[in-house]
Amino acid sequence: MAIKKDQLDEMMSEKNGMRVRDNMDGEKRANEKLNMEVADVSNKMSLRNINEYIRRYNSGESVIDILPKNLTKKELEQLQNLAKKRN
């Protein structure tokens, strides 16, 4: 896995007068995995509709006609987070 230059600068710190790079972010990754939510709308939308929603959301098109009427706010937020991750 390649490390970008701006990420490298963030990982650099100074300890005892020496520059030290720390790329051990296991705790941060574990917390992200715990906070990860899954968009479980498979009983309300087909996979084709979910992918179409993501495409339209990322391109800025209207998504209102693809969303089912019985979608809850939590499910909508999960769909939006999924679209942001796949951007």
Return the domain boundaries, the chain: 5-85
Closest Cα partner for 53 from 78, 25, 23, 27?
78
Q: What is the dihedral of CA 36, 34, 27, 32, to 10 degrees?
A: 10
pTM for this model (two decimals):
0.54
Question: So what's the pLDDT on residue 70?
Answer: 87
- Cα–Cα distance for residue pair 47/53, rounded to 1 Å: 10
Q: Is the pLDDT of residue 20 over 70?
A: no
pLDDT digits (tens, 9 = 90+) for 40-85: 787 888 889 989 999 999 999 999 998 988 888 888 888 888 888 8
Question: So what's the pLDDT on residue 38?
Answer: 62
